[in-house]
Structure 1
Amino acid sequence: MTEKPDQVLVGREEAKAFVVALLEASGVSKRNADIVAEGLVQADLRGVESHGINRIPSYLARIRNGVLDPRAEPALKQVTPVVAQVDGNNGFGFPAAHLAMETAISMAQTFGIGMVSVKHSNHFGMSAWIVRQAVDAGMMSLVFTNSSPALPVWGGKSQLMGVSPIACGAPGGDNSIPFILDMAPSVAARGKIHKALRRGEKIPEGWALDEEGKPTDDPESALKGVMLPMGGPKGSALAIMMDVFSGVFSGSAFAGGVTGPYDMSKPGDVGHFIVALKPDLFMSLDEFKQRMDVFYHRVVESDKMAGVERIYFPGEIEQRTEERRLKDGIPFVQAEIDALNAEAERLGAAKIQQML
């Protein structure tokens, strides 16, 4: 698979350095800017452009409007030997989630499990990058978050629940890849609607309804309406589950109270719930890896339905996309490059460098 010829390619290091410069110019510490930039660029590398560096203009707008504190540092409170809480202090969600997973991993290394709740946070980008933090440390994980209202509860018609991603992961064996699941409880992630709006594209029917409750392929109308849950009442129930564990449990906003990254009216008050587990709690690590190898090959080598050329393990398509983009660059349309460079001009920072 190759990128479209009309797209502009940007290298990983160039993209990350660009984001770091914008964030530092906006008052974010170097350490936190690195964490935010890494999370965003990982999303672009994995093909999840809806959660990549194109989020920067909305993040910077929230700083300018005083509803996100660029200088905030997440604060950690140990509750029990295996439970902790992080207060995001209305800073970027990325450092808060990173600290939460780092703490969960540390507890799991000693006690087998670590659980961290995060309150008063903000959007933390693609959940898979936090799952990957655990996988890289040899850990299994669960990563939950809530988000701003975009989805009706089943049987309702108004925005109440967030399109909150469900994410989890486990290390792979020596002859397989890690298991990384990151999915929204809606038919499509809301970020994909924003991406289509930025690019002047239509969205597939079946993703969303407009304000009148009618199916729409117009992203602007979709953002004024509601997203549709996957599997009807099942997707709605999963969205409620995310809010219980991330919002109610943490002390953050819930049931429609979270403010989204494109809303400049007030702080986000997002909640997260993060768990790390040692994979060798019930067997040796070697046996676990061998079992993951067997699992992977049984999945990808299973009989295919008509018209299917290949079966992929969860996270495998994204891994292959990342391998290609590390070599060839991250694709953007010119309108996206122009929007990013407008932020650089506003802050007196260098413009994003495109690959030749």
Structure 2
Amino acid sequence: MDPKETKHVSAQAAESFTTRILTANGVPAENAALISKCLVQADLRGVDTHGITRIPSYMERIRQGVLDARARPVLRQITPVVAQVDGRNGFGFIGAHMGMGRAIEMAGEYGIGFVSVKHSNHVGMLAWVVQQAVEAGMMSLVFTNSSPALPVWGGRERLMGVSPLACGAPAGEEKAFILDMAPSVAARGKIYKAARRGETIPGDWALDGEGRPTVDPHRALEGVMLPMGGPKGSALAVMMDVFSGVLSGSAFAGHVTGPYDPSRPADVGHFLVAIKPDLFMGLEEFKERMDYLYRRVVGSEKMVGVDRIYYPGEIEQITHEERLKTGIPFIQAEIDSLNREADTVGVEHLVIS
């Protein structure tokens, strides 16, 4: 059987399978359902690096005792518009979902809500947190820090994380604005994906352990990722550490542990903001203005060779719609890896469409 052969899995089958794996590893059913939904949403949006293929690394961290499968985050109110969640070394999805939920509640009453999350873990694709706010009719900002992978500009050691930032705003008739991006040329998860699939990477993504550009993902993982825009991307990575790590009381300055390292707790931090969009005008006027922005962006004059201009997050939304119909593509090697996890805990294998 060709390990690179592509198979398709329905979103429902992927969620059901992931929930079985999680609950069998001690994750409470309600939390397992949320984690599964977030991971599958990443796969549906085409962010395959943050989907259910993350399950083996997550489960290894549980087995090594560095991620608490049963942890229940605790929320503490600081001021009427500020709260903090202690993730208690549980899944990042649970703490972030609780935090954004509280930020939305505060914004609904006071116009804005800030939540800091400490002692957390990998939070997956940030767009799902933004989507939580959009569905509640809120604008949002979402930051997280992560394990060291980038050098600061002018340096050569891994110090800053490829720490993404995301933001969103609801619209009326048009698509919501959803931005989710890392401060590197490419997300580090894409390196792991290429290594897993036996593929090469573009030569401007990373340097190897000796500081040379490489197309080999394994050598790239021994070196450093490259920041987008040089010093600008580097500065954004530092900014994520300030708001997510320093401010929250979590690890920072290169001390976050990566999701593929089962040696110690990650101690990731997140920073979440929800904003009521009708603070300065009526909600309908706000939505009309967002719709106008969308139409201006996608209808602007195209450069030579471009067939279509996309709004931030629009390609992912289109992919989501397509994959709901066709299923999520996985190569056989990824399916085999997931099914080994199923065998470890004695649950049913992933159902192929």
Matches within 5 A, 1:180-329: 180-329=178-327
For residues 289 and 210 of structure 2, what CA distance do their matches in structure 1 show? 50
Please, which runs of 5 or more residues in structure 1 have no aligned partner?
none
Amino acid at match of 1:29: P
For residues 256 and 34 of structure 2, what CA distance do their matches in structure 1 show? 23
Q: Between the two proteins, what is the percent identity of the paired residues?
A: 69
Paired residue secondary structure (1:344)? helix
Deviations 1:272-297 (A, max 9, x none): 00000001000000100110111000
Residue 38 of structure 1: aligned partner: 37
**CA shift for structure 1 position 173:** 1.7
Paired residue secondary structure (2:349)? coil
**CA shift for structure 1 position 6:** 3.9
**CA shift for structure 1 position 71:** 0.6
**CA shift for structure 1 position 35:** 1.1
Out of 316, 339, 349, the position equivalent to 1:341 is: 339
Residue 121 of structure 2: aligned partner: 122
**CA shift for structure 1 position 166:** 1.0
Amino acid at match of 2:147: S
Amino acid at match of 1:231: G
TM-score (norm 2): 0.99
Please, which runs of 5 or more residues in structure 2 have no aligned partner?
none
Paired residue secondary structure (2:85)? strand
Residue 16 of structure 2: aligned partner: 17
For residues 347 and 200 of structure 1, what CA distance do their matches in structure 2 show? 28
Amino acid at match of 2:257: T
Amino acid at match of 2:183: P
Q: Which runs of at least 4 in structure 1 moved beyond 3 Å after TM superposition?
A: none
Deviates more, 1:5-14 or 1:126-135: 5-14
**What is the root-mean-square deviation in Å for CA atoms of aligned residues?**
0.7
Amino acid at match of 1:20: T
Paired residue secondary structure (2:263)? coil
For residues 347 and 67 of structure 1, what CA distance do their matches in structure 2 show? 19
Paired residue secondary structure (1:9)? strand
For residues 37 and 337 of structure 1, what CA distance do their matches in structure 2 show? 16
Paired residue secondary structure (2:98)? helix
For residues 289 and 93 of structure 1, what CA distance do their matches in structure 2 show? 31
Q: How many residues align?
A: 350
Matches within 5 A, 1:118-157: 118-157=117-156
For residues 185 and 84 of structure 2, what CA distance do their matches in structure 1 show? 32
Paired residue secondary structure (1:310)? coil
**CA shift for structure 1 position 217:** 0.4
Residue 79 of structure 2: aligned partner: 80
For residues 290 and 66 of structure 2, what CA distance do their matches in structure 1 show? 44
Amino acid at match of 1:56: I
For residues 277 and 310 of structure 2, what CA distance do their matches in structure 1 show? 23
Paired residue secondary structure (2:211)? coil
For residues 5 and 310 of structure 2, what CA distance do their matches in structure 1 show? 28
